[in-house]
């Protein structure tokens, strides 16, 4: 149940407000969904686990490094891209940040051609923000301005960067206090 933009949670017969999820109400999520990452950080694996634990969505797959052709592997309707780059993740994948950005650009171009709903998530917040021109910020540049919906951990938006992106793109922006709050957002997105 939604009232004045606040998330409402059913708790033992009563409805209680959830102040840990603010901003725009979660959008209606489309399925099937592919969860992936931008930058080879661990956030997408965390998102996959939270989606799974939410119990709201079962028609999803996970692919850490999809190429544009991989988006056609099954009839997808949405793409969830979790932001966050790590040198360890890039190294394990055997790629540079430049190669990752090229992959992300190609993936986003294909997603737009396919008219996929693009959900951009910053689940790890401040830990996945960096200096201008750094790997994390380049991943944000490659995905967030083109997303249909943004979900951002509060401390990752202290500078208002995602507010500005949402204002310019028109994408709804939901703010979560903690990564585990993402599960509640998923429940609202995929409520029957």
Regarding pTM above 0.75, the answer is: yes
Alpha carbons 11 and 42: distance in angstroms, whole number: 31
Alpha carbons 137 and 154: distance in angstroms, whole number: 16
> Range with the lowest mean pLDDT among 14-28, 68-82, 141-155, 165-179?
14-28
- pLDDT value at residue 79: 97
Phi first, then psi: what are they for 19, rounded to 5°? Answer: -70, -5
Q: What is the pLDDT of residues 118-146, one digit of tens each?
A: 999 999 989 899 888 899 999 999 999 99
Nearest of 103, 121, 127 to residue 48 by alpha carbon: 121
Grade residue 66 by pLDDT with cuts at 50, 70 and 90.
very high
If residue 34 lies in a helix (H) or strand (E), which one and from where to where?
Answer: strand 33-38
Contacts of 52 (CB under 8 A, 6+ apart): none
**pLDDT for 4 beyond 50:** no
Alpha carbons 108 and 143: distance in angstroms, whole number: 7
Alpha carbons 104 and 143: distance in angstroms, whole number: 7
- pLDDT value at residue 91: 75
Alpha carbons 90 and 7: distance in angstroms, whole number: 36
**pLDDT for 15 beyond 50:** no
- pLDDT value at residue 18: 59
Q: What is the pLDDT of residues 87-110, one digit of tens each?
A: 887 778 888 899 999 999 999 999
- pLDDT value at residue 102: 96
Alpha carbons 100 and 90: distance in angstroms, whole number: 8
Alpha carbons 86 and 91: distance in angstroms, whole number: 8
């Amino acid at each position: 149940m939604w009232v004045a933009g606040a998330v409402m949670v059913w708790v033992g017969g009563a409805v209680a407000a959830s102040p840990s999820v603010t901003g725009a109400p979660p959008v209606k999520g489309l399925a099937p969904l592919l969860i992936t990452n931008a930058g080879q950080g661990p956030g997408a694996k965390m998102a996959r686990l939270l989606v799974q634990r939410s119990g709201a969505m079962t028609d999803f797959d996970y692919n850490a490094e999809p190429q544009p052709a991989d988006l056609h592997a099954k009839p997808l309707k949405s793409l969830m891209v979790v932001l966050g780059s790590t040198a360890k993740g890039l190294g394990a994948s055997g790629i540079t940040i430049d190669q990752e950005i090229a992959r992300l650009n190609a993936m986003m171009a294909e997603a737009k051609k396919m008219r996929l709903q693009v959900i951009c998530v910053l689940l790890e917040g401040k830990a996945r923000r960096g200096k201008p021109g750094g790997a994390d910020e380049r991943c944000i540049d490659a995905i967030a301005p083109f997303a249909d919906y943004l979900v951002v951990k509060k401390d990752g938006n202290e500078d208002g960067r995602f507010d500005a992106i949402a204002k310019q793109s028109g994408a709804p922006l939901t703010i979560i206090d903690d990564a585990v709050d993402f599960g509640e957002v998923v429940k609202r997105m995929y409520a029957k």
